[in-house]
Amino acid sequence: MAYGFQAYTLRGTLPPRADPWLCGTLETRTQNPRARRAQAERQAELAYTIDFQMVVLERKAARAAGERTEDEASVLQARIAALNEALQRACAEHGLVAVQLKHAEDGLGARGATHVICPR
C-alpha cells in the first residue's frame, strides 16, 4: 500500500513517515536525503505542536465550562466551609443584636419615651 495522505487523529498519534518516493512532488523526490529528513522532522514537529495546542484548547474549554482539578475543588470546598462558618457566626450575632434592640425598644415604649433624632 502506498503511503498517501491518510486521515489520522492528532490526539495521541503522529502521522506515519511517508516514503518521499511513493508520494509527494517531483521536487520532493529529487531532494537530497538530508533535506528530506529535515522536512520530515519539521512535519513531525508541526504535528506535535498542533496536538499540543489542541490539548491546551480542550483544557481551556473544560475550565470555562466549570471543570476543576481535584486540588482546586478541595481548596474551594475548604473556603466554602470557612465562609459558611463565618455566615453562621454573623447570623447568630445578628439575632442577639435584634433581640437586644427589641428589648430596648420595648423598654422605651413602656416608659412612654419616644425616639429622639439628634440633628447633625
- Altogether, the residues listed in the chain come to a count of 120
7 pLDDT band (50/70/90 cuts)?
very low
Read off the pTM. 0.43
pLDDT attached to residue 96? 93
Q: Which of 46, 44, 20, 22 is nearest to 33 (CA)?
A: 20
10 pLDDT band (50/70/90 cuts)?
very low
Q: What is the pLDDT of residues 30-52, one digit of tens each?
A: 668 888 888 899 999 999 999 99
* Burial tier of 50 (Cβ tally within 10 Å: 0-12, 13-18, 19+): exposed
Domain boundaries, the chain: 1-67, 69-120
pLDDT attached to residue 31? 64
Over the Cα atoms of the chain, what is R_g?
Answer: 36
